[in-house]
Amino acid sequence: MVYDIVIVGGGIVGLATGLKIQNERPDLKIAILEKEDQLAKHQTGNNSGVIHSGLYYKPGSLKATNCINGYHELVKFCEEEKIPFEITGKVVVATREEQKPLLKTLLDRGLQNGLTGTRSITLEELKEYEPHCAGVAAIHVPQTGIVDYFQVALAYGRKIIQKGGEIFLNHKVLEINLKEGINYIETSKGTFESKLVINCAGLYSDLVARMNDASITDVKIIPFRGEYYKLKKEKEYLVKNLIYPVPDPNFPFLGVHFTRMKKGGVEAGPNAVLAFRREGYKKSQINLGELAETLAWPGFQKVAAKYWKTGFGELYRSFSKAAFTKALQELIPEIQESDLVDGGAGVRAQACDRTGGLLDDFAIRESAFAINVLNAPSPAATSSLSIGGTVAAMALKRFS
């Protein structure tokens, strides 16, 4: 059988894309191929669970538009499907005088992105929102929320199956060959034929892209592990909702923060350290081939040269719980090392070009018989239905 569309990757982006395609064109034959024995095992199942508001992103960028549109679609989906979520609001806190201008820039950006109600708050108000938090200035973002994205992704998957789509677990895509307008997709469990391939393979998206389009040699996924601690149960009172630092504008990550999780508990993190394998959730997990490829990538060498200081700081905090605690104490001074227990990790797929640019925006590239989602880092979970809609529209114009 020849499928109309095969999607590689059963994370939240692949599933949202499948769902959007099916909603528009239930007559098309679609399949999702996932290499693991369950959906959403990687980035989607190991993230902070924040419904981002759109505060951080450059107005007009794909991140800004898809985050804001995706936010509203996600909230509606959760309401309709009865997936628990909460709009908690969050505070972003400057802890040093020199961060004040950056906080102001962030506020302006949020307002430009249409975040009505986002505002500077006094230190007294900060104490009302977060009684244990300290800082020299703060803003409050009422739109931010929390959800369990693993549950959201499973719900997308259930709907795809209800509507007649097919999901194949334990099917790792190994090779894609194009012959006379048909993609022959070789998997660990047999060959699939499809008119169009959509690559949503997250941490392996660059490799799957090269399987369907040998000319995509200008981007590489660099895996950055984000490690978390959890607050001990008896210390969870220290955080009411979400507390974020002012992010370093030169670094694509938000800095260690406190997040009340919808599934329970309070997480502190994530940091950002180079993972020694693409799915390297622990320091001890190393894949020499993958690590050698990362180190040999010219763009990575430039990133390493540019961010070595920040990178060493992150690495030091990864090995030293005391240093990690010290970073957290900037936001909540009374936190002690003994209040924190190990909280697991996630690995971010961050695309990097040859010249050392970490791709800031979402990146989607199409060719005659394939669409490749090449960069879908945070806030892609929040944005999933909007990114899915964008990719679906690109796909469906070929089937009109």
- We find the least distance from the C-beta atom of residue 174 to ligand FAD, in angstroms, to be 7
Residue closer to ligand FAD, measured from CB, 135 or 270: 270
Q: How far is CA 41 from CA 21, 46, 144, 211, in A?
A: 23, 7, 24, 22
Q: Cβ(268)–Cβ(220) under 8 Å?
A: no
Residue (of 237, 256, 236, 253) closest to 245 by Cα position? 256
List residues bridging with 309 in a β-sheet.
none
Q: What three-state secondary structure class fits 140?
A: strand
What are the start-end ranges of the H helices in the chain? 12-24, 62-81, 100-112, 123-129, 149-162, 205-212, 288-296, 298-319, 321-329, 384-396
Q: How far is the CB of 348 from ligand FAD (least distance, A)?
A: 4
**What's the min distance (Å) between Cβ of 162 and ligand FAD?**
20
Question: How far apart (Å, rounded) are the C-alpha atoms in residues 391 and 196?
Answer: 12
Q: How far is the CB of 365 from ligand FAD (least distance, A)?
A: 14
Output phi, psi for 181, to 5 deg.
Answer: 80, 10
Residue 147 or 335 having the CB closest to ligand FAD = 147
Distance CA 3, CA 20 (A): 17
Closest CB to ligand FAD among 44 and 137? 44
C-alpha span between 181 and 138 (Å, rounded): 56
**Cβ at position 191, least distance to ligand FAD in Å:** 14
Q: Which is nearer to ligand FAD, 9 or 137 (CB)?
A: 9
Q: Is the dihedral of CA 13, 18, 19, 23 positive or negative?
A: positive
Tell me how far, at minimum, the Cβ of 20 lies from ligand FAD, in Å.
13
Nearer to ligand FAD, 269 or 299 (CB): 269
CA 71, CA 145: separation in Å to the nearest integer? Answer: 9
Terminal-residue alpha carbon distance, the chain: 21
Which residue's beta carbon is nearest to the bound ligand FAD? 11
The contact set with ligand FAD (CB under 6 A) reads 8-14, 33-36, 40-44, 46-50, 52, 172-173, 200-204, 208, 226, 270, 346-348, 376-382
Structure letter (DSSP) for residue 331:
T
Q: How far is the CB of 180 from ligand FAD (least distance, A)?
A: 24
What are the residues facing 118 on neighbouring strands?
A: none
Q: Which amino acid is at 189?
A: K
Closer Cβ to ligand FAD, 9 or 389, answer by number: 9
Least Å from the CB of residue 50 to ligand FAD? 3
Residue 67 or 303 with smaller CB distance to ligand FAD: 67
Q: Which is nearer to ligand FAD, 84 or 101 (CB)?
A: 84
